[in-house]
Amino acid sequence: MDSILTGYIPIFLFIGLTFLFPIVTLLIAKLVRPNSGGEGKLAPYECGVDPESDARQRYAIRYYVVAILFVIFDVETVFLFPWAIIYKQLAVFGLVEMLVFLGILIVGYVWIIKKGALDWA
């Protein structure tokens, strides 16, 4: 029975070290680092310019709509790359499928333009 348990000693030591290492490292770092600071260090910094307003203000929904539209069209155009790689293997069928895909994409793009989602005025 003792020989079975002695085989687990290195495992328990390793588990203990994995829990102890981050704690000891953080404590040593706290003791070694300089403790300087103040109001200037806690002030918000934005590209060298003082912020004009609070960061928790409301944004217009238009920003989110444009971001979502960008992601949608960007992700859909990524599907063109695999098609371009095996274009010769797909032959006419692949060409027709990609034309249908691009047609749907263009119809969506025209619909978005007509809805005015991309108007910044």
Q: What is the pLDDT along the chain (121 residues), one digit of tens a residue?
A: 567 788 889 999 999 999 999 999 999 999 998 877 777 677 777 677 777 777 677 877 777 877 888 887 787 778 888 888 888 888 899 889 888 988 988 888 888 888 887 776 4
pTM of the full structure: 0.43
Backbone angles phi, psi at 45, to 5 degrees: -130, 125
Domains and CATH numbers, the chain: 2-115 (1.20.58)
Rounded distance between C-alpha atoms, residue 36 and residue 71, angstroms: 43
Whether the Cβ atoms of residue 69 and residue 112 lie closer than 8 Å to each other? yes
Rounded distance between C-alpha atoms, residue 115 and residue 121, angstroms: 14
